[in-house]
Every structure is written in structure tokens, then in C-alpha cells.
Chain A
Amino acid sequence: EAGVTQFPSHSVIEKGQTVTLRCDPISGHDNLYWYRRVMGKEIKFLLHFVKESKQDESGMPNNRFLAERTGGTYSTLKVQPAELEDSGVYFCASSPFPGEAFFGQGTRLTVV
């Protein structure tokens, strides 16, 4: 069974540009989450989808971040315009039920 897949694995962009991260969850997992680890600090929750609906987006840092989940399948996280402080590793996870989150490898975003 395929795991959670994230694209790209690395991205380097200039300040002010737009970047879109993609996550393909495990098939059949209704719950999809985005997390972020900045500067070697703790991994922080960004948002949670149940199917195509945003269940909790309390961790989204500001309106430069937009997450979507088309048809309840894959999800995208767009940062527009990117700022230096957005650099970090963005993790996606999916789960069929609470706590058993399966994580992807992460996307390392560097804004220069």
C-alpha cells in the first residue's frame, strides 16, 4: 500500500514568489493534516481536512496560506506571496481515525 506522498521534496523560491505544495494521502483516509516545522523547533499543526471540508484551520499562520483538498483526495497548500519566515519543513499526514497519523516525507521549503 502506498504511503503519504508529498511533492516536491525540496523547493527554493525567492521572497514574494508563489509556491504550491502537494500531498497525496493514503487511499481511503478521510482525515488529512498539514503540519510545519520551522527552524528546528516543534512541529506545529496547520490544519485538518475531513474529506474535502476544513475541520480545523486554527494553525494557519495568516492569509498568505491557502489549503485545498479537491474532491476529498489530494491536497495542496499554497503560499502566496512567500516570506522568509515561511521557510521550514511542511509535513502532510493522513489517518483513518484519531492519533494514528501516517506522515509523508515532508517538503523542505527555503525562501531566499
Chain B
Amino acid sequence: GDSVTQMEGPVTLSEEAFLTINCTYTATGYPSLFWYVQYPGEGLQLLLKATKADDKGSNKGFEATYRKETTSFHLEKGSVQVSDSAVYFCALTKGDYKLSFGAGTTVTVRA
């Protein structure tokens, strides 16, 4: 079945550091790919998405590019802030409304 694997956390880094969270997927066909974020005390929010190969999703300084050749959708941000501390989830769907999530990566940014 479809699955998502993302790097294990937790990840701790200093403000203004570069952040990468790796995500790879296994799926037949052409899934859409997502990054969701859960800030402390809040629900899951869609951070960015990409619906076809080579698409780049971006939001709040975060970017991820849909790489079909490597089945990857790595999340990057060039300069993190304390407010980026959250749990990040990579996910996919093939249009059947059902999302398949990775295990989540906890990111803590220190001032």
C-alpha cells in the first residue's frame, strides 16, 4: 500500500539555521504530496503542497519540490525562527480523499 517515510526526530537547531526534513514515499500512480504542521496546542495545518512532478510548494519560507525520480518531497527552510518549533508531517493522497501520513518530525528551534 501507499506509505510515507520521514526522517526521525527530534530535531533541535538554533535560530537562523537551515532546516531540512527528508520525506520519501511509496505509491502507485501519481500522488499529491503535502506537508502539514502542528504547532504546540493547535491542530494540523496545511503548510504546502505539490500535485505533480517537479512542482514546488512554498509557504512561510518553507519549500518542497516533488521529485518523482527519487520519490521524495523534502522540506527546507533557509533560516528558521523560534516560532517554527512544531511537529511536521509529510503526507500523500491519490485523490481518493484519504491521506497517508509519515510519523512526524518534532522540530525545536532555540533562540
Contacts and interface: CB of A to CB of B under 8 A. Distances in A.
Contacts of A99: 32, 34, 49, 51, 93, 95, 97, 99
B98 A56 contact: yes
B54 to A, nearest CB: 18
Contacts of A103: 36, 43-45
Interface residues of B, number: 25
Interface stretch (A11-19, A40-48, A68-76, A80-88): A40-48
Interface string B10-53: 00000000000000000000001010100001111110010100
Interface stretch (B61-69, B72-80, B101-109): B101-109
Contact of B101 (A4, A40, A43, A100): A43
B104 A91 contact: no
Contact of A104 (B43, B99, B101): B43
A56 B4 CA distance: 20
A100 B49 CA distance: 9
B98 A41 contact: no
Interface in A57-112: 91, 93, 95, 98-106
A55 interface: yes
B100 interface: yes
Interface in A22-54: 31, 33, 35, 37, 40-45, 48
Nearest to A48: B97
Nearest to B106: A40
13 contacts: A33-B97, A33-B99, A42-B4, A42-B102, A42-B103, A44-B101, A48-B97, A99-B32, A101-B46, A101-B99, A103-B45, A104-B43, A105-B42
Interface of A: 3-4, 31, 33, 35, 37, 40-45, 48, 55-56, 91, 93, 95, 98-106
Interface of B: 4, 32, 34, 36, 41-46, 49, 51, 89, 91, 93, 95-104
The 9 nearest A-B residue pairs measured at CB: A103-B44, A105-B43, A43-B101, A42-B103, A103-B43, A98-B95, A42-B101, A45-B98, A99-B93
